[in-house]
Chains A and B, each alone.
Chain A
Amino acid sequence: AQSVTQLGSHVSVSEGALVLLRCNYSSSVPPYLFWYVQYPNQGLQLLLKYTTGATLVKGINGFEAEFKKSETSFHLTKPSAHMSDAAEYFCAVTRMDSSYKLIFGSGTRLLVRP
């Protein structure tokens, strides 16, 4: 079975500070990993994904994540937070043979202070 744990339901950073959102996964098969963002009153938007190959994945809006198999982690980072980054972020895992069936984490709400 697969599962995702996101540490911290709320993360607050100052504008310009490093953003670090944590995601750990559990999977008995090589996982596909995703980060989605949900802005208020909008749908889930794909930020980035890891399937195979390079373990450091770059996404939209300056975000990136690194797949660390030894740590079963896929943490999301951004060097400098913008006010517009305030949103809810969801980590998700799936498997190659059913990659439409995402298993989501519980989400982390990012607050950016001026």
Chain B
Amino acid sequence: EPEVTQTPSHQVTQMGQEVILRCVPISNHLYFYWYRQILGQKVEFLVSFYNNEISEKSEIFDDQFSVERPDGSNFTLKIRSTKLEDSAMYFCASSEYRGEGEKLFFGSGTQLSVL
């Protein structure tokens, strides 16, 4: 079965540093998403992306965050100046359609630790 791949699986960074989390969505998918899960808390929607622009973002997704599809295969999440509270598991997801109960395919996540 096709899968969404995320790299790295773990990332450790110092507070204030920039990090880029990388995702390779399923090849024929057109809609891309980032979710995150802070330890012990719920999985939360961050942002959706289609046709090279953000479709929707949550209040969590402030100016420190950005997303990009730099080429035909990668989808990245950048955090410009990391804070301690950015430590979380970040999940990338993709879907072929954005309609009735479409199936999201999630990656295995990147565990970000900000020290």
Contact = CB atoms under 8 A, between A and B. Distances in A.
A89 interface: no
Contacts, number: 63
B94 to A, nearest CB: 10
B101 A99 contact: yes
A57 to B, nearest CB: 11
Interface of B: 3-4, 6, 9, 31, 33, 35, 41-45, 48, 56, 91, 93, 95, 98-109
B95 A100 contact: yes
Contacts of B6: 43
Nearest to A32: B101
B42 A106 contact: yes
Given A96-B100, A102-B104, 15 more contacts: A43-B106, A44-B43, A44-B104, A46-B104, A94-B101, A96-B101, A99-B101, A100-B48, A100-B95, A100-B98, A101-B48, A102-B43, A102-B45, A103-B45, A104-B44
Contact of B101 (A45, A51, A90): A51
19 contacts: A32-B100, A42-B108, A43-B3, A43-B105, A43-B107, A43-B108, A44-B43, A44-B93, A46-B103, A49-B101, A51-B100, A96-B100, A99-B98, A100-B31, A100-B48, A101-B45, A102-B45, A104-B43, A106-B41
Contacts of A100: 31, 33, 48, 95, 98, 102, 104
